[in-house]
Structure 1
Amino acid sequence: MKSQVDVAVMIGSGVPASLQALGKRVCWVVLVNGERRGTAFASRNEAQECQTAWMEQLHGADRPAVARQAG
């Protein structure tokens, strides 16, 4: 079975208190098969790096890690 690994954005009250205390009102999380894995990230780039790591772990380094996303 092929697992799906996505990056999702959280805004407002969905942002963890630790990031809200730093003035952040948006964060990104990694979802594996729709379930959040790991921590919230302050930047989309950090979340995409984590996404790549999950893809490599789940599908092996010999397959394409991530399809490039616009944005």
Structure 2
Amino acid sequence: MQSKVDVAVMIGSGVPASLRALGRRVCWVVLLNGEPKGTAFSSRDEAEECKAAWLAQLNAEKPDSLH
């Protein structure tokens, strides 16, 4: 099964209280097969870095295909 990793934006009440307390009204989360993984990020760049790490980990776990 191939896993899907995405970055999603959360706005308003979807933003965790800790970020809202800092004045943030938007955040980004990494989704693995539609499920949030890790924490909410205050920048898209941070979320994209996390996404890249997930993809690298998933690719490392894949068994080598037989030729």
Q: TM-score range by the shorter chain?
A: 0.7 to 0.9
TM-score (norm 1): 0.83
**Matching residue's letter, 1:49:** E
Q: How many Å apart are 1:49 and its aligned residue? A: 0.1
Q: What residue is the counterpart of 1:39 in the other structure?
A: 39
Separation in 2, partners of 1:12, 1:26: 6
5+ residue gaps in structure 1?
A: 61-71
1:1-71 correspondence runs (5 A): 1-60=1-60
RMSD over aligned CA atoms reads 0.5
Runs of 4+ in 1 over 6 A off after TM superposition: none
Separation in 2, partners of 1:38, 1:46: 12
Q: What SS does the aligned partner of 2:24 have? A: coil
5+ residue gaps in structure 2?
A: 61-67
TM-score (norm 2): 0.88
Larger helix proportion of the pair: 2
How many matched pairs?
Answer: 60
What is the percent sequence identity of the aligned residues?
73
